[in-house]
Each structure stands twice: as structure tokens, then as C-alpha cells.
Structure 1
Amino acid sequence: MRNRILSAGAVTLGLCLAVTGCESGPEAAPRAGDAACRAAAGKLPEKIAGLERGDADAAGVAVWGDGKIVARCGIPMPRPTPDPCTTVNGVDWVWRYRQGDDGHDLLVTYGRSPGLEVTVRSGAPSEAALVELTKAAYELPRHRKCLDREGN
């Protein structure tokens, strides 16, 4: 389940989402209190593809659709990776399809610090989450960008 772009917190989040009754909810990422995460939080949408934003107890965490989509700001910037990367409105995202036993998608900003991690449960709208959360992710300082297949 672990790969190069996942932090220990992401693994914990994935396990929590795979088990019913995660009563404490997703944990805050290590840099959730950064000013950049606070700026990004101001750009988070109230709805994603009709899923209402709910309450989250941890700093830097937002949830939609009763946990179908979970965003955590403040993760460490991922290292360079051969995993698929896409750019949406100037924000690079690494997209890990069907992670863990529950088959969720994991979207992670690439080259931004602090980073934004988005877990999308199987059946929830991953593409809509990616588009809707890009505005918030744009607030995070960019340090690197995705390379194309030729390394340019």
C-alpha cells in the first residue's frame, strides 16, 4: 500500500477510510497550521459534484459527502516520482488510482509545499474533486513541476 508519494499520515488515512466507523476522523497533516494551508482553506468549495462539505475536527482537513472526499493540507512535498502526473489550471497533481483495499483514488499536489492530499472513495467523483480543489491548491507555494515523458 505504501509508495514513494505517500506519507505515513496518508497510509493511516487510507486505513481509516477502509474501516467503517473511523470515529476520530482524518488526522491533521504535519504542516496543517502553515499560513499557506490557511489561505488554501479559504478557497475550498462548499460542494463537489453535489456532495456537501461537512465538519472536520482536525486542522487543515475538509470532508465532502460524509467522507467520500477528504482533503488534507500540510503534507510534505512528494519526491520526484514516475507515477502519472497531470496539470490542471497550473497545479500539478500525482494521481494514484485504486489504492488500498477499498479502491480509493489518492490525488496529491506535486511540487507544492506544503502539499494537499485528496482521498476519493471508490464511486465518488475523482475528476470533479481534482478540478474543484485545484483553486485551493493553487494557493500553496510551487517549488517544482511535473515533467513530460521526454523529461522536459
Structure 2
Amino acid sequence: MNSFRHRHRSVIRLPAVALLITVAGCSSADDSASAAVPSPDHSVAKLCRNLDKVLPAKVDGESRDDPEPASALTAGWGSPAIILRCGVVQPPKMIDPKVAEGADPDAVAGGVNGVDWLMEEQGDGGYRFTTANREAYVEVRVPKGPDSSGVLIDLAPAIKKAIPEGIAD
């Protein structure tokens, strides 16, 4: 009888252990950011791969920690992550005449260290910057908190080196 109870407990424990392993396998302690990978044409993708090779190891004091899925078209720094995506489509606000005239308070055009940007305030308090007057559009999302000017200053040399001035298709 004692042996029966022992076997019965083992059978009950086995599913409980399997459940714990399954739950542990599904949860993740990894706080990696994620970013949708753009799908530009071949010539823009080549520019983006060149940009990836010259991006700084640190941006605004934050170490590089690329988002998932891994791609030469995306990069990230810090947590919450500053996310760069290269080869994005032209933002609609970039061609909005209200932005050019300064009449849209949520989108402002400007330049930092030789790189022109469209700055759009996001609903969560962060900002989205998209390069202008370059052969590829590069988007940088800065979460609420960090000083975005430091981010753009740190990224400008790499963008100037890898993405020529011009008009993206």
C-alpha cells in the first residue's frame, strides 16, 4: 500500500514538473527590444548595410544592443531602447506643406551636425526622427526621457559617411 501511494505521488508530480518546465520555457527574462525590419530595394539595402558597419558602439552613453529580429537594417542602444531602422518609407508628414511652413506642432524639420531630420512627437512622449535629403530614409525612435539631441549628434557622423546626400526613391 505504501508503495502504491509513492507511485501515485510520482505520477502527480511528473505533470506538475512538466507544466513548470513549459511555463519557464515560455517566459523570458530577456528584455530585448523588437523592431520591424524594413524591406527597401537592393540599392537602399546596400546603403543600410554600409551604415550598420559604421554605427557607433554607444549612442547617448548607451551601449549597442540590437533589437530582434537581428538585421543589418536595424540597430538599438540602451533600455528602453533607442531604435534605428534604415530603409524605411518616406513619412507622410515629410511631404506635408504644413510641416515645411512650421504649422504642424507635432512635426518639425531641422538639422543636426550636417544631417537633416523630420522630428515627430509620439503619443508616448518619445520622438521619431527620419533623415531627409539622403538617398535612404533612416528612422530613429527615441523613448521618452533621453535627450534626443545627444542621440542625433552621435549618429550624424555614421549617417553622413554611409548615406549620401540626395533624394531617396
Structure 1's unaligned 5+ residue stretches are: 1-20, 145-152
C-alpha change, 1:117 and 1:32, in structure 2 (3 Å) is farther
C-alpha separation in 2, matches of 1:136 and 1:67: 22
Amino acid at match of 1:115: Y
Alignment match of 1:104 (pick from 117, 126, 129):
126
The structure with the largest alpha-carbon Rg is: 2
Tell me if the contact between 1:29 and 1:75 (Cα under 8 Å) persists in the aligned partners.
Answer: yes
**TM-score normalised by structure 2 residue count:** 0.63
State the identity %: 31
Give 1:76 deviation, angstroms.
2.0
**TM-score normalised by structure 1 residue count:** 0.69
Tell me if the contact between 1:47 and 1:64 (Cα under 8 Å) persists in the aligned partners.
Answer: yes
Q: How many residues align?
A: 122
C-alpha change, 1:43 and 1:23, in structure 2 (3 Å) is closer
Alignment match of 1:93 (pick from 93, 97, 117):
117
Higher strand share: 1
C-alpha separation in 2, matches of 1:118 and 1:24: 14
- C-alpha RMSD of the superposition: 2.4
C-alpha separation in 2, matches of 1:104 and 1:25: 16
Alignment match of 2:79 (pick from 66, 72, 79):
66
Secondary structure of 1:28's match? coil
C-alpha separation in 2, matches of 1:28 and 1:112: 19
Structure 2's unaligned 5+ residue stretches are: 1-29, 100-106
1:29 pairs with 2:35: no
Alignment match of 1:114 (pick from 108, 131, 136):
136
Q: Which has the higher contact order (CA 8 A, sep 6+)?
A: 1
Higher helix share: 2
C-alpha change, 1:116 and 1:32, in structure 2 (3 Å) is farther
Amino acid at match of 2:163: L
Name the structure 2 match of 1:48. Answer: 59
